[in-house]
Structure 1
Amino acid sequence: MSEGNLSFVKEFVIVGFPGLQPEVYGFVSTVFFLVYFVTLIGNAVVLILLATQNVLHKPMYFIYLNLVVCDLIFSNTTLPKIIAKYWFQAGVISFFSCFLQMYLVHYCGTVTSFILLIMALDRYVAICYPLKYPMIMKNSTVYILNVTAWVLAQPFCLSIVIRAYLLPYCAKNTILHCYCDHFAVTTLACTNWGLFCFPIFVAAMVVLLGPLAFIIFSYCSIIIAVLKIASTQGRIKTLSTCSGQLIIIALYYIPRCLMYLFSNIGITLSPDVRTGIVMLYSLLPPMINPLIYCFRTEEIKHILIKKINQTNRRSHPIREYRTNI
């Protein structure tokens, strides 16, 4: 029996996709491993660049830095276990470890939501109040905003995980998901799940839709400000500074909002389809965000090209010498 609650369950079994046949487990584990590898390498490269290049020590890039850290924590929290489940048939997770994973998953999701709000604020001030931008979005201001995002996410995530941990788990212990999600775990509790889940759902909507409401407002204001620019080239150039952030925001919010919409209008998805959609919006953004930073941000792109050229010169010094002759 686990301490602190009335549960008889000592461990959970992560099922992943319940409809998958054992003969495709190797393929699925390989796909997850490649996603994990690409995510780690891409985010590590961006993290090193943002930390070591003085030219990138600006408010916008510090916001990116926090998003990269959040993506790395989330990926390292979820992917190794599901890879082990399909690669080594090691899907068992201890009771405490499951709730620790749940906390980190929802903590990273909440922090990401707040960071996207800060990103939208940064672009809003830069485009709508360009002359005041250096005074408003100072490095110290952005540091405080990002630290606040990490701190504010703590009470919400701790409260939902502690309440879930104290529920009695008496019999079922199979999690129809690829990680210990709050919904997937609490449905296994031996109690009236609906009464428990409603306040958690309301709180989650506040965390999700509160930042989204400001993001929509900020980008509506940005569009209005851009339409006032006389030249077409000026409009395109101004909007291009927001394109990377819009892609990140769309990847994060649109699938989540669709999932909540489906559940509220009575559209029932099979466990495999639901898990697939959740994994898509959970794992795709951390994997492709570095590509967005590198190929949609001119300064990072130029630094990468410069680093690659320097590496090529070091690896072919004789060829470069002959060319110069």
Structure 2
Amino acid sequence: MSVGNISFVRDFIIFGFHGLQPHYYGLVSALLFFVYVCTLLGNAIVFTLFVMTKSFQKPVYYCIINLVVCDVLLSTTILPKIISRYWFQDGTISFLGCFVQMFFVYYLTNVCSYALAVMAIDRYAAICYPLQYHSIMTNRNVLILILGSWVLSLVGPLMIVIRAYPLPYCAENTIIHCYCDHVSITTLACTDRALYGVPALIYALVVLMGSFAIIVFSYFSIFVAVMRISSTGGRMKTFSTCSPQLIIIALYFLPRCFIYLFGNIGINFSTDLRLVIDMMYTLLPPMINPLIYCLRTEEVKTVLRRQFQKKQNGIRKKLDRKVSMQI
């Protein structure tokens, strides 16, 4: 077989955690399955509330639904294959399938970064320019920002995959990761990966730090604006409207910055610890975000209470009918 663009490797094997003993496979697969089910159910509830409640048809909730869709797609891209690896001992993924997964992981990760930046811009406009908010953050403008983030996110991942796909993979095909990661795959190539790894790292940092810079600027401006409010109650109320987004941003960005920072100053982690942190900041936010929306957003809590009371009243009426029929 000739070398060049033709690869000797027909498929890859997603190995997962290198140091995990086989007798823990069932526990790990059950845990990952639980995370996936919770992610689907929680985000489905938020999406259903958005569709059924007219008061949610406004910019801030369009931003939240954008993040919900991105979270579900990202979890669905990663979790089924790694669950299969530990549940059925089937970690094999086709050559093309691996690069398709890699594209969607990076693409959806970028979209999530931009989604959080759009949410920060929305809060910035609401608090710093309250009188102009409804003319600045119209549904149309927010939808343009959201659509723009999905389109803009395509370029980088597409270029990363296009550069990595034709490399000669002619030896090892085991990926020490829970999904097809760019670093893990290009390390397996029978060529110098520096030409391919450095641009990918730079792009990842530009997207991550660019989104993070917008978020930091937005919330710094919000903090300054809030501190000018004379009443303590007004300050607390304003801060409470931002707290859900701040928690989500902390869950999403802080572990990533931690990994990049310590990696660049020469502090290395064990492979398994790095994978645990990677999976935590990739999979925990999609599972926890719906809980944060429901517990920290007053309007969502009010709608949930109303729905719960309606169901309770419906159950009581049914019970009363049964009792009256028996009498």
TM over 0.5: yes
Deviation at 1:319, TM superposition (A): 4.2
Residue 86 of structure 2 corresponds to 86
> Any gaps of 5 or more consecutive residues in structure 1?
none
CA distance in structure 2 between the aligned counterparts of 1:205 and 1:23, rounded to whole angstroms: 38
Instruction: Give the superposed CA RMSD.
Output: 1.7
TM-score normalized by the length of structure 2: 0.95
Give CA-to-partner distance per residue, 1:136-179, whole Å, 9 cap, x none: 00010001100000000011111111111122111111111111
Query: For 2:51 and 2:152, how far apart are their aligned partners in 1?
Result: 24
Give the equivalent residue in structure 2 for 1:287: 287
| Displacement after TM superposition at 1:211 (Å) | 1.2
Q: Which moves more between the two structures, 118-127 or 181-190? A: 181-190
CA distance in 2, matches of 1:162, 1:123: 37
Q: Aligned in 2, Cα 1:240/1:270: closer, same or farther, shift over 3 Å? A: same
- Match for 2:77: what amino acid? T
Cα separation, partners in 2 of 1:311 and 1:6, compared to 1, 3 Å: same
- Give, in whole Å, the separation in 1 of the partners of 2:8 and 2:126: 55
Alpha-carbon shift at residue 320 of structure 1 (Å):
5.4
**Residues 52-76 of structure 1: CA distance to partner in whole angstroms, max 9, x if unpaired?**
2111001000000110000110111
1-structure distance, mates of 2:282, 2:311: 34
Alpha-carbon distance between aligned partners in 2 of 1:136 and 1:212, rounded to the nearest angstrom: 22
Deviating more after overlay: 180-189 vs 245-254: 180-189
2:248 paired with 1:248: yes
Q: Any runs of at least 4 consecutive aligned residues in structure 1 with deviations exceeding 4 A, and if so which?
A: 1-4, 318-323
Q: Where does 1:253-292 land on structure 2 (aligned, <5 Å)?
A: 253-292=253-292
The 3 A distance-change label for structure 1 pair 70 and 4 is farther
The count of corresponding residues between Structure 1 and Structure 2 is 323
Identity %: 55
Tell me the equivalent position of 1:62: 62
Asked if 1 retains the 8 angstrom alpha-carbon contact of 2:4 and 2:167, the reply is no
The separation in 2 between residues aligned to 1:118 and 1:3, in whole angstroms, is: 45
Native 8 Å contact 1:2 1:95 kept in 2: no
3-state secondary structure, aligned to 1:13: strand
Normalised by the length of structure 1, the TM-score is: 0.96
Q: Distance in 1 between matches of 2:184 and 2:97?
A: 15
Per-residue deviation, 1:18 = 0.9
- Aligned partner of residue 16 in structure 1, secondary structure: coil
The aligned counterpart of 1:215 is 215
Assess if the C-alpha contact under 8 Å between 1:313 and 1:320 holds in 2.
Answer: no
Deviations 1:242-285 (A, max 9, x none): 00000111111100011111211111111111111100111100
* 8 Å contact kept, 2:173–2:188: yes
Cα shift at 1:2: 12
CA distance in 2, matches of 1:259, 1:27: 26
Residue 314 of structure 1 deviates from its aligned partner by 2.5
Once the 2 structures are TM-superposed, how far is the Cα of residue 306 of structure 1 from its aligned partner?
A: 1.5
Distance in 1, Cα, partners of 2:164 & 2:250: 30
Instruction: Show the counterpart of 1:120.
Output: 120
Q: Is the 8 A contact 1:251 1:285 kept in 2?
A: yes
Structure 2 CA distance for aligned equivalents of residues 63 and 275 of structure 1: 29
- Cα distance in 2 for partners of 1:32, 1:184 equals 21
Deviations 1:200-253 (A, max 9, x none): 111111111011111111111111100000000000000100000001111111
Aligned counterpart, 2:200: 200
Q: Pick closer, same or farther for the CA change 1:149–1:3 going to 2, 3 Å.
A: farther
- Distance in 2 (alpha carbons) for counterparts of 1:93 and 1:308: 44
Alpha-carbon spacing, 1:125–1:90, altered in 2? closer, same or farther (3 Å) = same
More displaced 10-residue stretch of structure 1: 39-48 or 310-319: 310-319
Higher mean displacement: 74-83 or 304-313: 304-313
Task: Determine the structure 1 residue equivalent to 2:187.
Answer: 187
Counterparts of 1:2 and 1:119, CA distance in 2: 50
